[in-house]
Structure 1
Amino acid sequence: MDTTIDRQAETAAIEDVVATIEHAQRNELVEEFVSLFREDAIWTTAAGRLLVGRDAIAAFTGQVLPGAMKDLVPSYEVVHVLFIRADVAAVKVRQRYSAREGEPRTDLGEGTPMYVMSKEDGRWRLTANQNTAVAAGA
């Protein structure tokens, strides 16, 4: 296996996945969001609920996402990418919310998701993920 990678290009591709997450969340697009996951992916919600497999992630997201962003605009910013291998990366993200009018919603705090992504068939996919809320004062 060739372990050399173009870090700049791969980081840009990973940032595109995170931008798609943001787009899907902002527009409450369940199918677009779920399509980013491997079939056997795991997802732990900010509340600590473990979801195993794309079907479980889809069922949960289908219940919670529609209507959730009615008054909110989420933003996702990649803050660090660690390439574990050429085809596996740990991606740290900063997640914030604002009101539709643009005012930050600091009352909702921030999220600090960790996405472990794997590159399969030329596409980065969400594989093992933890959506973590930042504790007040942290």
Structure 2
Amino acid sequence: MPEEFVGLFRADAIWTTGHGKHLAGRDEISSFTHQVPTGAMKDSTTTYEVVDELFIRPDVAAVKAHAQYWTSEGEPIGNAATPLYVRAEEDGRWRLIACQNTEVLAQ
């Protein structure tokens, strides 16, 4: 599964994780992703809702989403997140090129 996730990124992509870790390039993103404990979310799920999408050009878009982690019983885990993804179409496939996953702190 990590390979499928990493395959979504362009080779030179940048990503700031929900905990503020800056990752540069698919290799670094892959290394980080493979460090996540196997099964860390086996008893939970995440939902994503696209809030807005702005096409900068026909082949480049910024996507704002709302994300929430849930237990298998349907209870929210932690705070929601509001990720921003910049994606570009290359060779007929959309790839992530810049991502910022920001946790929403309780008010």
Assess same fold via TM > 0.5: yes
Q: Distance in 2 between matches of 1:117 and 1:65?
A: 27
Q: Which amino acid aligns with 1:72?
A: S
Give the 5 Å matches for 1:37-116.
37-64=9-36, 66-101=38-73, 103-105=74-76, 107-116=77-86
Deviation at 1:62, TM superposition (A): 0.7
> Cα RMSD (Å) of the superposition?
1.2
Deviation at 1:66, TM superposition (A): 2.2
TM-score (norm 1): 0.73
Gaps of 5+ in 2: none
Q: Distance in 1 between matches of 2:12 and 2:35?
A: 20
Deviation at 1:65, TM superposition (A): 5.3
Q: Distance in 1 between matches of 2:13 and 2:66?
A: 21
**C-alpha contact (below 8 Å) 1:44/1:51 kept by paired residues:** yes
Q: Which amino acid aligns with 2:75?
A: P
* Cα distance change of structure 1 residues 52 and 81 upon mapping to structure 2, 3 Å threshold: same
Aligned length: 107
Percent of paired sites with the same residue: 57
Give the 5 Å matches for 1:27-42.
29-42=1-14
Q: Distance in 1 between matches of 2:68 and 2:52?
A: 16
Q: Distance in 2 between matches of 1:83 and 1:114?
A: 13
SS in 2 for 1:70: coil
Q: Distance in 1 between matches of 2:39 and 2:101?
A: 19
Larger relative contact order, structure 1 or 2 (CA cutoff 8 Å, min sep 6): 2
SS in 2 for 1:77: strand
Specify which structure has the higher proportion of helix. Answer: 1
Gaps of 5+ in 1: 1-28
Equivalent in the alignment of 1:120: 90
